[in-house]
């Protein structure tokens, strides 16, 4: 069931790719190809599309299908492609993976249903029902700030026994939680524990985590690959320096604008300023206007991004 | 744009109908017809399908379409039908309403997009973009415990000026908020302010609210209609007595089971015990098992529900 | 144990008095006397000192003692005086009530300990240990936004059986909760259920609540007494009119300034503008500066307060 | 103003000592001496009394004074003693430090006032007013889960410029926040950044943090000192092993019992089982009963604690 090409555990930097858009239902197809090339040139170990950073829940199902097909075709097996299939409806979570496998993706990524908050036994049962219907390996996606539900450690431990469940991406930013998972899954060397927030990549990798699904790797893929390699190689001086740069980048780029969407808007704005792809955003968000864009440009100059 | 058959403001009891299911993607079509008849026999003033109580986000789009068509056909204009169209994707919120109008519904109901939390200016802009695309009048749906976003009073005041926006259902259970809306919209006699939680129907109606979208009206439609009429008619003795019964019902029926879904499970279980429709629930929930069903049956006997 | 002068249940408007201060550890003694006279002239049914509105946790123990003694002496039995004794330390909650009784107060008011969040069994046990040590009747004070702990309905029901526990003030603004308490305590005609937020005074009184501990009654005591009487007398036209004024006052006066303390600052500012007492506030708050004071003055003119 | 004996920055393991009690207002004076000896024998770099782990807010002021005096006398300058002075009232925060200095303590520790949530400008002003009144260096204490207020990074940066403010203990368990502080204070080599949760000691120390105020160091002081030293010495194999033991200890000892107080109860129970001090707890908590104690004993055997 699991394609031989997906390493177990999956390790390294797997950027959660932004979705280049020309308008709310039109892909920026050329921008997409440039973005894929830009990211792959950074030496990343995989690509994750249709996650939170990819604005998946804001996109039409048609556009999501188009994105899967174009991405898989363009990546052409150079790295594994992971595809977010999170949905509030069980039935709608099952359909896309079939096409996804045919398109050539290697795995799907699944958070808890995010309208109704499931209890933990319900969440486990949900996974037990859903995983057998999926033709690809499954990564769990812990994102409680948006889904309102945590995959509690004991639930993850049991979910890891479901055939096809191969890893977890943790975007909770709760390092005690991450360490609890590591402890509970110590005997599962094949189960991948990946961190979401790039601010935590250094420490998770130093302490045995398998890598990161870090949004910043859209704009600076090499930085995160270097940090991951330094931490794997236990070069603490390099780790300190690269971690400091990660913090400097996020402090500058994600702090423009007011709402919770500063992170996404900053990321797309940088990619637009770099000439890689459009910064159009699907509702309910919209791209930065000129004053915020000017600030981003200033921060990019100060950080030496794109210059 | 607004059909003459939708009263302005819409007043009275508009039950948020549960969705009778045989399995996760099969409507209980006969149960649906029985349920509609049962509810309409209670003298209600409208019917709201595909809301939270209708488990809309857990249903496939295909099943949602089927439910809209069957419901509208069976109601056949006896009361206005309101249809929930909440989605995380703008494009997916626009498509269903077209079919919904053709099916014969009178209005749509829209919460904020519920994956990404929009800022208030973004939320207002979202409504300004979306409403003109909708062929039916729009009720806003304030449900912050599930959407993570409040329609703040000032946002509602501005949204009420958008053509087609005709009312709001408030399920926040925050009466200070409800009174703030009443104050801000005092000059808008045509704008409907409806309450979600049935525990608050008595007081909102006494103090000028237009009625309730109360889940309990699935099982006891007449009770809520009587309470609404008593409050409109300022019969405080009757209000006190009926409100007390509303509290007794909810204390008994919604308190079985542990998780946040007790309300939904209790409601469907009662309808099943009454022989009206199946109590199957879409994932991530499941129906009560026998011990909980026995408790519900005992509560029903004590409350005199169903004979 | 319970002085004959405390009605059971206590009914009516019991303003939570602000504490007039000249600086962080000096009472505005003359302002205090003027404020007491001003409030009593409004026809209120009691006075509650050292609550949240009285900034109790921000005051030194010495100043709290002085306030109790001066207030009781000046009120001189004209209405019952209730005294907040909430503390994080059990021992510090026991000492003040002894002096409080000697000073002539009629009851104490007690929230949950507010640093460590007690579980419900711990909270009940806390009350069971503490109440017997207190020489005065006890009102519970449900204030979860500041204490992080709700007195859950079942806990209140059991606490109501503890000798000396005579009522509850609910500042949760959760009307479903309030109605649950009413249902659970229906057989306890002597147990007083009082509402905190003035926005909810109309409806709670109409539906059987015993009155309100409403901050706005510091500045407009007569308004809240009139609303209470209208609701008790079932004059719904008068209730609607007075409730509307309550909303207009709070919308104007409590909306100046940014932080959560707008309510307290607005209240003290109005009292200062009326020449009744100083608006000095204990840390961590500070009084409004001139621009906010000018706004308050404008709102007062528009509302016809003090002129 | 700052005694020469307090290292700048303060580094290492500074256990937040539990307060041994015989009953709610009686110190276990012999247990206290045994506990101090036990902890100091582990090689710790300081001692922090009257923090959250010390149940400070639940203790009478008299008992707090007694604890300060006995602890300082018994420690007798062997390590710096830090004393929590957090209070809701400014005046009550100022008085204890005077006696504290006389008793021989080296610093005080201060969270935000924890009843009223201050806005950030108010919080900064609070520190600006309070610090000059304190005769000892001040550590800030970020504990938002209990105080409801975060010391936001920019507030810390400005607070670090107040004379006397020498460090911060972060108990938020939010590592992104911790890294933000590190970035903002990179030029302040004398400002101590200490971590609260022991689960995060490994990574913070590896990435430049100055040490930990870790509750587990009450029962296993040497373990945390060893982990700190391994991380300082960049011995990643030793770090991994010791961090794993830290996780095993917390997973076992802090998971007994239901409420939020499991951590505190587990800690005191272990110390009682070790024969060091009483496990009595101040209200609103109470010590474990026999079944929970038996579980703790079993976990201790499995972990090899005390045997």
| Residue numbers in D near C89 (CB within 8 A) | 57-61, 282
| Residue numbers in B near A61 (CB within 8 A) | 89, 92
> Which residue on chain A is closest to B57 by alpha carbon?
A88
Cβ atoms of D35 and D17 within 8 Å: the answer is yes
Q: How far apart are CA A72 and CA A136, in angstroms?
A: 14
Q: Say if the Cβ atoms of C203 and B203 lie within 8 Å.
A: yes
Residue A2 scores a pLDDT above 50: no
Give the distance, in angstroms, between the CA of residue D141 and the centroid of all CA atoms in the same chain: 9
Mean pLDDT of D234-258: 95
Q: Say if the Cβ atoms of D248 and A183 lie within 8 Å.
A: yes
Report the relative pairing of strands C211-212 and C192-195 from DSSP bridges: parallel
When CB atoms are compared, the residue of C58, C122, C261 closest to D286 is C122
The neighbouring-strand residues paired with D13 are: D212
Write out the E strands in B32-171.
47-49, 81-84, 107-110, 138-142, 165-170
The helix or strand, by DSSP H or E, that contains position D169, with its residue range, turns out to be strand D165-170
Q: How far apart are CA D255 and CA D270, in angstroms?
A: 13
List the single range of A49-53, C90-94, C150-154, C224-228 with lowest mean pLDDT. Answer: C90-94
Enumerate neighbours of B (3 or more CB pairs within 8 A).
A, C
CB pairs A-B closer than 8 Å: 128
Residue C182 scores a pLDDT above 80: yes
Mean pLDDT of C187-211: 97
Identify which of C213, C224, C219 has the alpha carbon closest to the alpha carbon of residue C265. C219
Q: Say if the Cβ atoms of C286 and D116 lie within 8 Å.
A: no
Residue C299 scores a pLDDT above 60: yes
When CB atoms are compared, the residue of D207, D236, D247 closest to A202 is D207
> Which residue on chain D is closest to C25 by alpha carbon?
D91
What SS3 class is residue C76?
A: coil
The neighbouring-strand residues paired with B37 are: none
Phi, psi of B20 (to 5 degrees): -70, 125
Q: What is the DSSP letter of C104?
A: T
| Residue numbers in B near C193 (CB within 8 A) | none
Q: What is the pLDDT of residue B259?
A: 66
Q: How far apart are CA C69 and CA B4, in angstroms?
A: 67
Torsion-angle region of D108 (φ positive above 0: left; ψ -120 to 50: alpha; else: beta): beta
Mean pLDDT of C129-149: 96
Q: Say if the Cβ atoms of D88 and C58 lie within 8 Å.
A: yes
Contacts of A189 (CB under 8 A, 6+ apart): A9
Q: What is the pLDDT of residue D5?
A: 77
Enumerate neighbours of D (3 or more CB pairs within 8 A).
A, C
Q: How far apart are CA D285 and CA C122, in angstroms?
A: 6
Burial class (CB within 10 angstroms; exposed 0-12, middle 13-18, buried 19+) of D1: exposed
- Where b means 16+ CB within 10 Å and e means fewer, C154-178 reads ebbbbbbebebbbbbbbbbbbbebb
Contacts of A229 (CB under 8 A, 6+ apart): none
Residue A5 scores a pLDDT above 80: no
Q: How far is CA C135 from CA A178, C96, C102, C107, C164, in A?
A: 51, 10, 10, 9, 9
Residue C150 scores a pLDDT above 60: yes
Phi, psi of D52 (to 5 degrees): -60, -45
Residue B172 scores a pLDDT above 80: yes
Residue C212 scores a pLDDT above 60: yes
Q: Say if the Cβ atoms of C183 and B236 lie within 8 Å.
A: no
Q: Say if the Cβ atoms of D176 and A197 lie within 8 Å.
A: yes
Cβ atoms of D271 and D277 within 8 Å: the answer is yes
Cβ atoms of A47 and A79 within 8 Å: the answer is yes
Mean pLDDT of C205-213: 98
Residue B32 scores a pLDDT above 90: yes
Number of C-alpha atoms within 13 angstroms, CB side, residue B16? 28
pLDDT tens per residue, range B198-208: 999 999 999 99
ipTM value: 0.96
Residue B230 scores a pLDDT above 70: yes
Residue C137 scores a pLDDT above 60: yes
Cβ atoms of C142 and C109 within 8 Å: the answer is no
- Alpha-carbon gap: C71 to the closest alpha carbon of chain B (Å): 32
Alpha-helical runs (H) found in chain C:
29-40, 61-75, 90-103, 120-130, 144-147, 153-159, 175-184, 201-206, 221-232, 236-253, 262-273, 290-303
Mean pLDDT of C70-90: 96
Identify which of D81, D153, D150 has the alpha carbon closest to the alpha carbon of residue D114. D150
Residue D28 scores a pLDDT above 50: yes
Q: What is the pLDDT of residue A259?
A: 67
Identify which of D17, D56, D21 has the alpha carbon closest to the alpha carbon of residue D39. D17
Per-residue confidence at D96, pLDDT binned at 50, 70, 90?
confident
pLDDT tens per residue, range D176-223: 999 999 999 999 999 999 999 999 999 999 999 999 999 999 999 999
Q: How far apart are CA A16 and CA B241, in angstroms?
A: 57
> Which residue on chain C is closest to D257 by alpha carbon?
C119
Cα end-to-end span (Å), chain D: 45
Q: How far apart are CA B245 and CA B228, in angstroms?
A: 13
> Which residue on chain D is closest to A196 by alpha carbon?
D176
Question: Percentage of chain C surpassing pLDDT 90?
Answer: 93
Q: How many distinct helices (H) and strands (E) make up chain A? A: 12, 10
Report the relative pairing of strands A192-195 and A211-212 from DSSP bridges: parallel
Q: Say if the Cβ atoms of D206 and A236 lie within 8 Å.
A: yes
| Residue numbers in D near C125 (CB within 8 A) | 283-284, 286
Q: What is the pLDDT of residue D291?
A: 96
Q: Say if the Cβ atoms of A175 and D179 lie within 8 Å.
A: no
| Residue numbers in D near C144 (CB within 8 A) | none
Give the distance, in angstroms, between the CA of residue B211 and the centroid of all CA atoms in the same chain: 11
- Alpha-carbon gap: C176 to the closest alpha carbon of chain B (Å): 6
- Where b means 16+ CB within 10 Å and e means fewer, A252-268 reads bbbebbebbbbbbbbbb
Phi, psi of B148 (to 5 degrees): 70, 0
Q: Say if the Cβ atoms of B176 and C197 lie within 8 Å.
A: yes
Per-residue confidence at B95, pLDDT binned at 50, 70, 90?
confident
Q: Say if the Cβ atoms of D259 and C119 lie within 8 Å.
A: yes
Residue D307 scores a pLDDT above 90: no
Per-chain mean pLDDT for chain A: 95
> Between chain C and chain D, are at least 3 CB pairs below 8 A?
yes
Residue A95 scores a pLDDT above 90: no
pLDDT tens per residue, range D118-173: 999 999 999 999 999 999 999 999 999 999 999 999 999 999 999 999 999 999 99
CB pairs C-D closer than 8 Å: 128
pLDDT tens per residue, range B58-82: 999 999 999 999 999 999 999 999 9
Q: How far is CA A107 from CA A16, A165, A233, A285, in A?
A: 13, 10, 27, 28
Two tokens at D232? 């300082």
Q: What is the pLDDT of residue D15?
A: 98
When CB atoms are compared, the residue of C112, C129, C282 closest to D90 is C282
What SS3 class is residue D180?
A: helix
- Alpha-carbon gap: B283 to the closest alpha carbon of chain A (Å): 6
Q: Say if the Cβ atoms of D208 and A240 lie within 8 Å.
A: yes
Give the distance, in angstroms, between the CA of residue C34 and the centroid of all CA atoms in the same chain: 18
Mean pLDDT of A273-299: 96
> Which residue on chain A is closest to B86 by alpha carbon?
A115
Q: How far apart are CA D290 and CA A283, in angstroms?
A: 57
When CB atoms are compared, the residue of D203, D208, D236 closest to A175 is D203
The helix or strand, by DSSP H or E, that contains position B27, with its residue range, turns out to be strand B26-27
Per-residue confidence at C4, pLDDT binned at 50, 70, 90?
very low
| Residue numbers in A near D183 (CB within 8 A) | 244, 247-248, 251
pTM > 0.80:
yes
Q: How far apart are CA C37 and CA B304, in angstroms?
A: 54
Report the relative pairing of strands B26-27 and B21-23 from DSSP bridges: antiparallel
When CB atoms are compared, the residue of D183, D236, D247 closest to A234 is D236
Burial class (CB within 10 angstroms; exposed 0-12, middle 13-18, buried 19+) of B188: middle
> Between chain C and chain A, are at least 3 CB pairs below 8 A?
no
Cβ atoms of B218 and B303 within 8 Å: the answer is no
Two tokens at A206? 């130093």
pLDDT tens per residue, range B261-298: 899 999 999 999 999 999 999 999 999 999 999 999 99
Contacts of C154 (CB under 8 A, 6+ apart): C120, C184
Q: How far apart are CA D249 and CA D305, in angstroms?
A: 9
DSSP string, C32-57: HHHHHHHHHTTT-S-EEESSTTTTGG
| Residue numbers in D near A183 (CB within 8 A) | 244, 247-248, 251
Q: Say if the Cβ atoms of C119 and D260 lie within 8 Å.
A: yes
Residue A130 scores a pLDDT above 80: yes
Per-chain mean pLDDT for chain B: 95
Q: Say if the Cβ atoms of B207 and C247 lie within 8 Å.
A: no
């Amino acid at each position: 069931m699991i394609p031989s090409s997906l390493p177990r555990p999956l390790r390294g930097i797997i950027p959660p790719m932004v979705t280049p858009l020309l308008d709310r239902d039109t892909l920026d197809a050329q921008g997409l190809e440039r973005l894929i090339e830009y990211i792959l040139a950074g030496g990343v170990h995989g690509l994750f599309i249709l996650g939170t950073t990819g604005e998946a829940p804001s996109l039409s199902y048609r556009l999501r299908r188009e994105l899967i097909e174009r991405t898989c075709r363009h990546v052409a097996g150079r790295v594994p492609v992971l595809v977010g299939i999170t949905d509030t409806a069980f039935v709608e979570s099952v359909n896309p993976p079939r096409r996804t496998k045919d398109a050539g993706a290697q795995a799907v990524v699944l958070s808890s249903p995010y309208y109704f908050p499931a209890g933990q036994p319900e969440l486990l049962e949900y996974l037990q029902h859903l995983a057998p219907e999926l033709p690809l390996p499954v990564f769990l996606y812990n994102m409680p700030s948006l889904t309102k539900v945590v995959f509690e450690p004991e639930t993850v431990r049991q979910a890891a026994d479901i055939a096809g469940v191969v890893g977890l991406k943790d975007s909770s930013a709760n390092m005690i939680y991450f360490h609890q998972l590591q402890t509970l899954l110590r005997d599962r060397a094949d189960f991948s524990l990946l961190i979401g927030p790039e601010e935590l990549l250094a420490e998770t990798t130093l302490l045995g985590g398998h890598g990161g699904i870090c949004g910043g790797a859209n704009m600076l893929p090499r930085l995160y690959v270097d940090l991951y390699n330094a931490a794997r190689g236990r070069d603490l001086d390099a780790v300190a320096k690269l971690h400091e740069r990660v913090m400097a980048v996020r402090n500058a780029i994600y702090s423009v604008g007011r709402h919770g969407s500063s992170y996404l808007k900053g990321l797309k704005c940088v990619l637009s300023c770099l000439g890689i792809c459009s910064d159009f955003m699907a509702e309910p968000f919209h791209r930065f206007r000129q004053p915020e864009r000017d600030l981003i440009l200033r921060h990019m100059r100060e950080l030496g991004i794109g210059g």
